[in-house]
Amino acid sequence: MEKKIINVMPFACIMTVTIILFTANLFVNGDQEWKPSWSSKAAEEAEAVAAIPCSGHGRAYLDGLVLQGHLPVCECHPCYGGSDCSEFLSDCVANAGSGDPLFLEPFWKQHAASSAVLVSGWHRMSYIYSDGSYISELLVKHIIKVHDIVGNAKTDGKYVIFGAGSTQLMNAAVYALSPNSSSNPAKVVATAPHYAAYKTQTEFFNSRDYRYEGDTSLWKNKTDGSTRFIEFVTSPNNPDGKLTSAVLQGSNVKSIYDYTYFWPHFTAIPAPADEDLMLFTISKLTGHAGTRFGWAIIKDADVYERMLTYLTVNTIGVSRDAQLRALKLLNVVVEGEGREIFEFGYTTMRDRWIRLKNVLSKSKRFSLQKLSSQYCSFFQRTRDPSTAYAWLKCEREEDKDCYTVLRAAGINGHPGSNYSADDRYMRLSLIRSKDDFEILINKLKTLVAQS
Amino acid sequence: MEKKIINVMPFACIMTVTIILFTANLFVNGDQEWKPSWSSKAAEEAEAVAAIPCSGHGRAYLDGLVLQGHLPVCECHPCYGGSDCSEFLSDCVANAGSGDPLFLEPFWKQHAASSAVLVSGWHRMSYIYSDGSYISELLVKHIIKVHDIVGNAKTDGKYVIFGAGSTQLMNAAVYALSPNSSSNPAKVVATAPHYAAYKTQTEFFNSRDYRYEGDTSLWKNKTDGSTRFIEFVTSPNNPDGKLTSAVLQGSNVKSIYDYTYFWPHFTAIPAPADEDLMLFTISKLTGHAGTRFGWAIIKDADVYERMLTYLTVNTIGVSRDAQLRALKLLNVVVEGEGREIFEFGYTTMRDRWIRLKNVLSKSKRFSLQKLSSQYCSFFQRTRDPSTAYAWLKCEREEDKDCYTVLRAAGINGHPGSNYSADDRYMRLSLIRSKDDFEILINKLKTLVAQS
């Protein structure tokens, strides 16, 4: 397999898939009005399913379960029910738990034509792309183009590899940075509050090569040349949305920068990141968590090779169907130079943050993390906070378990201890569907009014 | 997440996606001739790419690289070149290496309309399906239906989970069957000749919970109640195509049955398998290796839960795009009650085996594994051998390295040592494209004539 070093040739000379294919099509069909042939049935199926309204409180999918009456079943948003999702279930719990990025779903419905893909039955059956790798070269070029447009990461002279979301890449990176020594395994650390999976995943795989060793605060000024430290850094941080950087220093300290949320939806972009190992995922860029597609940008050739081996041994790379989907979605991002999707994402998230702050400003029982306006090099202006998650604190002495306080008020979030933090804190997800956010706001209003 | 025990409700009451959606569509559009709306561009792109002929010795793909003249690049089969793949590169090496299952590609071109899928931009953005899981319930039902039709596995009362090919499921199974004990790790074993990844993958992850401990022959009558043994069994076997069963016995021995090749393309189906842990993959059923989709059928609830945890921690399940693709492909298999695809696969592979045997029958320098005709419960008749791989032996005393002998004759296979076997053996892949097989046969004819 060939090394896939980033091609620094200007992207301009690579035409977007859309333009290319349109041209190719004209070449084949001339100027006549085009009529579908073998693709007609698939197109018709997709449009028929999309036309099922589910009252605006649910969706029907091509692969949804079906009623005996043969219609696809509407899959209702939380707190909605009935065969067409028109019933509001008033006694239900607000879902502010998982970071399901459904806030971007309306964007894709608005861009139906440009984001659809028709996959033929014989598309990419092989294990390999034409260069013998498991990685689509065209998709790598699109990813680089997206980073160039957004200005959130330097990619020149670096390597790009793919994983099933950043999830798979996290452990691949830990493996690649570990010294393969059971007598002196690498110490994996992170700074609380932090995303739970760094700890749970590292412990789960229980390798002889590395061990999870808790918070960076335990190891400050205690790193030495003999033990490899691997620090997970999330910026902006999950759960609290703050821009962060590595805590540990030293010749034997390596960092994995998780830039999942480093997009204009959620944060100002002060400058492009230029770290040795950076993780990104489509989940929080386009909102397609279900596609399971992420990528790592890697400076060092050895680390790249080791991660590539991990991906091969673990799953023989990432589904070529997921790669095709990601290509089409990123092509839409690239076509509009990112303006459309990031304006949509930022506006949505900023408005949600403002509304949440307003509701909680009426209460001394709860407080939110402090976030300030900041200059964004992408928008070329100062922008307001628009964080993915609220990091809520219960301020009353007796409210030691903030999760339970909110759960009693019909709101489901994640307890602070999930993030190796005090349970006086909890995380509320703000990136879910509009329905979920509205129910959350209503429940919070009631709670604040009663407090 | 809910347990996903197999629903024993007759499949007949679950209509196939095609019928359903066609009905739904009629419901929406009445009897008028249907015209595509937002799906038109995607359909047009796919048909334009499919219409690029590449001289029959290559393919153009939606996500292929593009020429500056804006046409997608033809990706040529091995030994073909030129912009339209019309040039035969006569000095090139026959590719009989990897098990890329491209022999089924023509089947899917013949079934273009029924196997195409149009994926909307907002299809399954969420992490979860409507039941809160990462596993499509409709796809589970299709898989069970395929096994019912083929009669190659008993699924009643068992659990089904998905992985990125059987590759990811192999290590998930090893994890799930290991006792989580670093003081007494499970011993993972297999019987040579065997698929290399059992060893390489188990060693690669270097877990404190298990260790690769070589061939089953080292442990026969040496298993006891205190150490967990995990035996990989492949049936029919890769590389030699023989039906096999577990070698080790004992209360603490668990087997992982890899049934990747247990389909009528490659073997007679004597009776349905009914093992505790069985692995399958779409790669060798429909030929879609690139989709990275496999499944495990599991008897024990605890093992199922542990594998589910592994899949969650490793990748948060399998790409929903891969699951949609698999659904559509299996729907085509199910629609024809499996007759069409298995007749196609069996006929193709049997003819290749006959041709290979005929060529080698003229030589005493090489021999093939012995395979005999056998009654197949699926075809309800005795069928000839149609194995996926030739397990070639170099018979001359001096030909100790069979791989090198064939490499010198312009044929690339896999050396016997890749399968923990003697290098007097080597594997030739017979499941690749027609072009690859024809070149292999021609090179073998020349070699035999010279020997």
Chunked into runs of 10 residues, chain A (451 residues) has average pLDDT values of 41 38 44 83 94 95 75 91 95 96 98 97 97 96 98 98 98 96 91 98 97 96 89 98 96 97 98 98 98 98 98 98 97 92 98 98 96 98 98 98 98 98 98 98 97 83
| Contact between B119 and A117 using a beta-carbon 8 Å cutoff | yes
Q: How is domain B95-104+338-450 classified at the architecture level of CATH? A: Alpha-Beta Complex (3.90)
CA distance A379 to A383: 8
Residue B406 in contact with residue B447, Cβ under 8 Å? yes
CA distance B362 to chain A (A): 33
- Contact pairs from chain A to chain B, CB under 8 Å: 411
| Contact between B70 and A34 using a beta-carbon 8 Å cutoff | no
In this complex, the residue of A23, A105, A309 whose CB is nearest that of residue B122 is A105
Looking at the predicted structure, is the pLDDT value of residue B332 above 90? yes
Which of the listed CATH numbers 2.10.25.30, 2.60.40.420, 2.20.28.90, 3.90.420.10 matches domain B36-92? 2.10.25.30
Q: Collapsing DSSP states into helix, strand and coil, what is residue A345?
A: helix
* Per-window interface: A 185-204 vs B, CB < 8 A: 197, 200-201, 204
Q: What percent of chain B has pLDDT over 70?
A: 92
Q: Collapsing DSSP states into helix, strand and coil, what is residue A213?
A: strand
CA distance A331 to chain B (A): 11
Domain ranges, ordered by start, for chain A: 36-92, 95-104+338-450, 137-337
In this complex, the residue of A37, A127, A319 whose CB is nearest that of residue B322 is A319
CA distance A440 to A447: 10
| Contacts of residue A178, Cβ cutoff 8 Å, sequence gap at least 6 | A185, A186, A207, A209, A210, A228, A230
* Per-window interface: B 271-300 vs A, CB < 8 A: 287-293
Instruction: Give the pLDDT confidence of B414-424 residue by residue, as tens digits.
Output: 999 999 999 99
Q: Collapsing DSSP states into helix, strand and coil, what is residue B24?
A: helix
A1 touches chain B (CB under 8 A): no
Token readout for A222 is: 């205690």
Residue B65 in contact with residue B49, Cβ under 8 Å? no
What is the distance in angstroms between the CA of the first residue and the CA of the last residue of chain A? 62
Compare all CA atoms of chain A with the CA of B142 and give the residue at the minimum distance.
Answer: A63
A329 touches chain B (CB under 8 A): yes
Instruction: Give the pLDDT confidence of B61-118 residue by residue, as tens digits.
Output: 999 877 655 678 899 999 999 999 999 998 899 999 999 999 999 999 999 999 999 9
Whole-model pTM?
Answer: 0.93
Report chain A residues whose CB lies below 8 A from the CB of B104.
125
| Contact between A117 and B42 using a beta-carbon 8 Å cutoff | yes
Which of the listed CATH numbers 3.10.450.30, 3.30.2090.10, 3.40.640.10, 3.30.70.2660 matches domain B137-337? 3.40.640.10
**Other CB atoms within 10 Å distance of the CB of residue A9:** 9
Compare all CA atoms of chain B with the CA of A174 and give the residue at the minimum distance.
Answer: B205
Token readout for B246 is: 């577990």
Q: Collapsing DSSP states into helix, strand and coil, what is residue B388?
A: coil
Look over chain B and give the mean of its residue pLDDT values, rounded to a whole number: 92
CA distance A182 to A180: 7
B309 touches chain A (CB under 8 A): yes
Residue written as token pair 């195509």: B241
List the beta strands (DSSP E) in B259-412. 277-281, 294-298, 366-367, 374-376, 381-383, 389-394, 411-412
Report chain B residues whose CB lies below 8 A from the CB of A17.
45, 62-63, 66
Report chain B residues whose CB lies below 8 A from the CB of A121.
108-109, 111-112, 114-116, 328-329, 332
- The pLDDT, as a whole number, for residue B32 is 62
| Contact between B59 and A113 using a beta-carbon 8 Å cutoff | no
In this complex, the residue of A46, A108, A124 whose CB is nearest that of residue B39 is A46
A243 touches chain B (CB under 8 A): no
Nearest to residue A277, comparing CAs of A293, A295, A265? Answer: A295
Q: Nearest 10 degrees: CA dihedral of B360, B364, B368, B372? A: 90
Token readout for A441 is: 């706001």
Backbone angles phi, psi at B381, to 5 degrees: -160, 165
- The pLDDT, as a whole number, for residue B315 is 98
| Contact between A36 and B59 using a beta-carbon 8 Å cutoff | no
A372 touches chain B (CB under 8 A): no
Report chain B residues whose CB lies below 8 A from the CB of A79.
none
Task: Tell me whether 0.90 is exceeded by the ipTM.
Answer: yes
Element (H, E) at B356: helix B339-360
Residue of A206, A285, A328 to mutate, interface with B, max B Cβ within 10 Å: A206
* Per-window interface: B 122-141 vs A, CB < 8 A: 122-130, 136-139
- The pLDDT, as a whole number, for residue A405 is 98
In this complex, the residue of A112, A206, A313 whose CB is nearest that of residue B208 is A206
In this complex, the residue of B41, B206, B288 whose CB is nearest that of residue A209 is B206
A308 touches chain B (CB under 8 A): no
Token readout for B422 is: 């003697």
| Contact between A113 and B44 using a beta-carbon 8 Å cutoff | no
B117 touches chain A (CB under 8 A): yes
Instruction: Give the pLDDT confidence of B357-373 residue by residue, as tens digits.
Output: 999 999 999 999 999 99
| Contact between B115 and A121 using a beta-carbon 8 Å cutoff | yes
Token readout for B271 is: 């009776």
Q: Which stretch of A217-231, A273-287, B130-144, B225-239 has the lowest confidence by average pLDDT?
A: A217-231
In this complex, the residue of B48, B109, B322 whose CB is nearest that of residue A122 is B109
Backbone angles phi, psi at B82, to 5 degrees: 90, 160
**B36-92 matches B95-104+338-450 in fold:** no
**Other CB atoms within 10 Å distance of the CB of residue B321:** 28
CA distance A424 to B56: 66
Q: Identify which has the larger pLDDT, A195 or B8.
A: A195
Burial class (CB in 10 A: 0-12, 13-18, 19+), A448: middle
| Contact between A165 and B315 using a beta-carbon 8 Å cutoff | yes
Q: Collapsing DSSP states into helix, strand and coil, what is residue A383?
A: strand
- The pLDDT, as a whole number, for residue B33 is 77
